[in-house]
Amino acid sequence: MSKRWFITGGTPGNFGMAFAEAALEAGDRVVLTSRRPQELATWADQYGDRVLVVQLELTDAAQVQRAVHAAEEHFGGIDVLVNNAGRGWYGSIEGMDESSLRGMFELNFFSVLSVTRAVLPGMRARGNGWIVNVSSVAGLVSAPGFGYYSATKFAIEAITDALRDEVAAQGISVMTVEPGAFRTNAYAGFANEPIEEPISEYHGMLEQVRAAFVEMDGVQPGDPHRGARAVIAAMAQDPAPRRLVLGNGGYDAVIDTLEQSLADIRGNETLSRSSDFPT
């Protein structure tokens, strides 16, 4: 039986579209959300009634409820939720303005909660479902200039781990996906975005961050369609993985970071164990 997908972040040239096309290749049906659904009209027409495009501003909780209701009415339910939408702003921890960092949490974290909580009642009622939360390698490996973006993705990691255990008894599976550098439009805006950093001491660091993303735009090694197919293959495994890192560079960075963390923790085992009351 074909699955019914609900995918956020349906911008042409990005991961949401890749997930949608991979699901359609598998014979499934797709609800794809977008702030600008008119951009997806021509693409959706080729799939007929297997695709429903829904306008959605993810930070509007009422719109989230309406979009999920429309999807459930159209296809009779949602079997797979992919929380894909998100955006990264860069800036120093000290200097990034309050509105930008709060806006990033609203989109990257709180909107994921809104969509997940709207979809879960239907999945619980049917006793099955899949939730795929798209985090990032930055959700496991933080980097200078992207501390707040990483914080939003670290938060997704934590929520997803807890959710996985909470809903397992309801027949619902949950996985985190951590893409590295993939050839999407995500880096396209860096060349035209001025560095809005009030503290001059951080300008050099942020210039290097921006230059690296501008240089990589269009030549990122990751293929979004291969990445989406890898996620579908992982979902079919028994047992399915708790998380899936996508891309060679991302895989290597995550393994290196986790091994360094383990070495650091183990290197201070005596101090860690000395802090309990004596037995």
Q: State yes or no: pLDDT of 5 exceeds 90.
A: yes
Q: What is the pLDDT of residue 36?
A: 92
The residues pairing with 149 across neighbouring beta strands, listed in sequence order, are none
Domain count, the chain: 1
Q: Which of 92, 111, 114, 135 is catalytic?
A: 135
Residue 277 lies in a domain: no
Q: What is the pTM of this model?
A: 0.95
Q: Give me the percent of the chain exceeding a pLDDT of 70.
A: 100
Please check whether residue 275 lies inside any domain of the structure.
Answer: no
Domain that holds residue 180: 4-269
How high is the pLDDT of residue 188?
A: 73
26 is a domain residue: yes
Question: Rounded to whole angstroms, how far apart are CA atoms 151 and 211?
Answer: 22
Asked, for residue 158, whether it belongs to a domain, the answer is yes
**Among 165, 162, 160, 153, which Cα is nearest to 175's?**
160
pLDDT of residue 51: 97
Q: What is the pLDDT of residue 13?
A: 82
Which pLDDT score is estimated for 192? Answer: 75
Determine, yes or no, domain membership for 84: yes
Measured CA to CA, the distance from residue 7 to residue 50 in angstroms comes to 14
**Is-catalytic flag, 135?**
yes
pLDDT digits (tens, 9 = 90+) for 170-229: 999 999 999 999 888 777 777 777 888 999 999 999 999 988 888 888 888 899 999 999
Percent pLDDT > 90 in the chain is 85
Residue 254 CB-half CA count within 13 A: 21
On the question of pLDDT at 132 being above 90, the answer is yes
Residue 25 lies in a domain: yes
**Statement: residue 249 has pLDDT above 80:** yes
- State yes or no: is 149 an active-site residue: yes
Q: 26-73: per-residue pLDDT in tens?
A: 999 999 999 999 999 999 999 999 999 999 999 999 999 999 999 999
- In this predicted model, what pLDDT tens digit does every residue of 71-84 receive, in sequence order? 999 999 999 999 99
pLDDT for position 53: 97
What's the CATH code of the domain at 147? 3.40.50.720
Task: Choose, from 92, 114, 148, 153, the residue flagged as catalytic.
Answer: 153
Q: Tokens 């296809």 — which residue?
A: 75
Catalytic residue chosen out of the listed positions 90, 149, 187, 202: 149
Mean pLDDT of 253-274: 98
For residue 276, is it within any domain?
no
Q: Is residue 232 one of the residues assigned to a domain?
A: yes
Both tokens of residue 200?
């001059």
pLDDT (0 to 100) of residue 193: 78
**Position 84: which residue type?**
N
Cis peptide before 239 (omega within 30 of 0): yes
pLDDT class for 95, splitting at 50, 70, 90? very high
